[in-house]
Amino acid sequence: MSHDATPNLDFAGTTPYEDYVQADVLTHLQHPRSKDPGEMVFLVTTQVMELWFTVIVHEWETAGRALREDRIPAAVDALKRSVRELEALNASWKPLGQLTPAQFNSYRSALGEGSGFQSAMYRRMEFLLGEKSASMLVPHRGAPRVHAELEKALHEPSLYDEVLSLLSRRGLPVPQEVLRRDPALRYEPDAVVERIWAGVYAEPGRHEELIRLGEALTDVGELVWRWRNDHLVATRRAMGSKTGTGGSAGVAWLEKRAVKNVFPELWTARSHV
């Protein structure tokens, strides 16, 4: 290519970049409801979070399919991509993490009954992590497509369910009651599964591939834990212990979530290796 070549600037319609990225759509989705200049960053940051949720759901669904097909390297690749995406998602708290109560109150009323727990894409993330709850479909009854997607996700195996099925196919003694559990229910830790992971980690030469998978899942779990804690700290800083938007319990609810680990036996098994 010649160094003096100039880019094509003349297009019959919209630019190819616009056609692919839909930048004009994205940059005109912001409709602040207050006159406070700080509302714009709150709105855009929340929208960016929704986009990251969408990518992460895609990665975890990709990982789940790969696990069903016994393609552990492909699953690990998807999980590792999601780790980088979770890091970017968690960084989204930076613009909001130092809001004072007065700053947040200046546009909080614009949210009305809106609250983060109503995010359907975040709910799909939680479902993939095994945090299932049929009651969380209720807010979406008025949006048939969203409700149908969530209902499907509720009844499908979580990412961790797929991992446990893989361990069973590899000859490890995952209990039948774990394998046959209703996938629409929240996953509860199991002592036998904990012993299985402890055994896997105790024999790295024999279980190298499974340990790589376990470590990728642990990386995901750590960043989910950090996300929840960053959410808790940002909320505590902006509004203290007041009731959250949409009637949620606010900080009290976030505190309960912050102490929970996803893929629990991967954490507790380490005490027994």
Q: Assess whether pLDDT exceeds 80 at residue 212.
A: yes
* Residue 260 DSSP label: P
State which H helix or E strand residue 48 sits in: helix 39-68
Q: For residue 31, say whether it is annotated as part of any ligand binding site.
A: no
pLDDT tens-digit readout, 223-246? 999 999 988 888 888 877 766 555
Mean pLDDT confidence for 156-173: 98
pLDDT tens-digit readout, 78-97? 999 999 999 999 999 998 88
pTM of the entire predicted model:
0.90
User: Using 50, 70 and 90 to split pLDDT, how confident is the model at 48?
Assistant: very high
Model pLDDT, residue 23: 95
Q: Assess whether pLDDT exceeds 90 at residue 111.
A: no
Q: What's the CA gap between 90 and 2, in Å, rounded?
A: 42
Model pLDDT, residue 232: 87
Model pLDDT, residue 231: 87
Query: Token digits for 264?
Result: 């629990």
Listed residue (257, 163, 153, 254) closest to 217, CA to CA: 163
Q: Which domains, and CATH codes, for the chain? A: 34-104+114-272 (1.20.58.480)
CB 63 within 8 A of CB 125: no
Q: For residue 108, say whether it is annotated as part of any ligand binding site.
A: yes
User: Using 50, 70 and 90 to split pLDDT, how confident is the model at 145?
Assistant: very high
φ, ψ of residue 145 in degrees (nearest 5): -65, -45
User: Using 50, 70 and 90 to split pLDDT, how confident is the model at 109?
Assistant: confident
Model pLDDT, residue 244: 56
Identify the residue with better confidence: 133 or 256: 133
What is the maximum alpha-carbon separation in the chain? Answer: 69
Q: For residue 245, say whether it is annotated as part of any ligand binding site.
A: yes
| CB half-sphere exposure, 39, CA atoms < 13 A | 14
Mean pLDDT confidence for 133-150: 94
Percent of the chain topping pLDDT 90: 71
